[in-house]
Amino acid sequence: MQTLISPSLLAADFTNLKTDIEMVNNSQADWFHLDIMDGVFVPNISYGLPIVEQIKKIAEKPLDVHLMIIDPDRYVEAFKKAGADILTVHYEACTHLHRTIQNIHSHGMKAGVSLNPHTPVSVLEEIITDIDLVLLMSVNPGFGGQSFIENTYAKVEKLVQLIKEKNASVTIEIDGGVNLETGKKLVEAGANALVAGSFVFRSDDPNQTISDLKNL
């Protein structure tokens, strides 16, 4: 099975967003990765609902929305309305994670749970069969262009094991510092989806870079 590629628009040129969205539409990418930051859960603010709505109008692939915000339950409905297809929340930001997952599913979206680099995979033991995707952070969330944390490979292997033990059907997506080298090792470890921001949008030929990642 080929790896799913989700280019992160955080690294796109926002003065020419339409051009970058069309590039992704015409590429081998599978999803659009949208990073929503509130300046509280992470030390940065990105963009919000009005931008997601505009992106939805021209994006021809599912929106993979990564919420780096506290108490995300409050915004599940709003992100559905804005066009999210996959909604991922942080384990560290949810007091009642199971309820949040139910909320996401009740709005007809796929539900993902993201783990910060310090959070062990084992916290997902009781919820792994209820979710569609796990997003492992391979950098500390908040910024693009950071370097990859090597411990992520071991986390992917532990997650593969947990999924097997629980007989769950979950996409393993990795976010942060993904390039051809880290991407290859991640796929070998068992990842099925890769987010890439800087590596795609700062390259000379983003379309070709997406295809290189796709065909690792």
Instruction: Pick out the residues of the known binding site for substrate.
Output: 8, 66, 142-145, 175-177, 197-198
Q: How many helices (H) and strands (E) does the chain have?
A: 8, 8
For residue 146, state whether it binds ligand DX5 (rule: CB under 6 A).
yes
Is residue 35 within 8 Å of residue 46, measured between CB atoms?
yes
Cα gap 191→77, rounded to integer Å: 29
Identified catalytic residue from 30, 85, 132, 175: 175
Catalytic residue among 20, 35, 38, 64: 35
14 versus 165: smaller Cβ distance to ligand DX5: 14
Of 48-87, which residues contact Zn ion (CB under 5 A)?
66
Backbone torsions φ then ψ of 90, nearest 5 degrees: -90, 135
Q: Where does this chain touch Zn ion (CB under 5 A) — which range of 14-22, 28-36, 77-85, 96-104?
A: 28-36
Using CB under 6 A as the binding rule, whether residue 145 contacts ligand DX5 is answered as: yes
Of the CA atoms within 13 Å of residue 74, those in its CB half-sphere come to: 8
> What is the CA 170 to chain-centroid distance, rounded?
13
Q: Which of 4, 5, 31, 35: binder of ligand DX5 (CB under 6 A)?
A: 35
Q: How many other β-carbons are positioned within 10 Å of the β-carbon of residue 84?
A: 27
Phi first, then psi: give them for residue 86, nearest 5 degrees: -120, 130
* Separation CA 164–CA 141 (nearest Å): 27
Give me the 155-194 binding string for ligand DX5, x by CB under 6 A, dash otherwise.
--------------------xxxx----------------
Q: Name which position in 11, 89, 124, 189 contacts ligand DX5 (CB under 6 A).
A: 11
**Cα gap 80→136, rounded to integer Å:** 23
Nearer to Zn ion, 197 or 206 (CB): 197
**Phi, psi of 131, deg, nearest 5:** -120, 165
Provide the minimum distance between the beta carbon of 94 and ligand DX5 in the complex, in angstroms, as a whole number: 17
Which region, judged by CB under 6 A, interacts with ligand DX5, from 7-15, 51-59, 121-129, 203-211?
Answer: 7-15
Chain position carrying tokens 């990073």: 35
Query: Which residues participate in catalysis according to the annotation?
Result: 35, 175
Residue ranges binding ligand DX5 (CB under 6 A):
8, 10-11, 33, 35, 66, 139, 141-142, 144-146, 175-178, 195-199
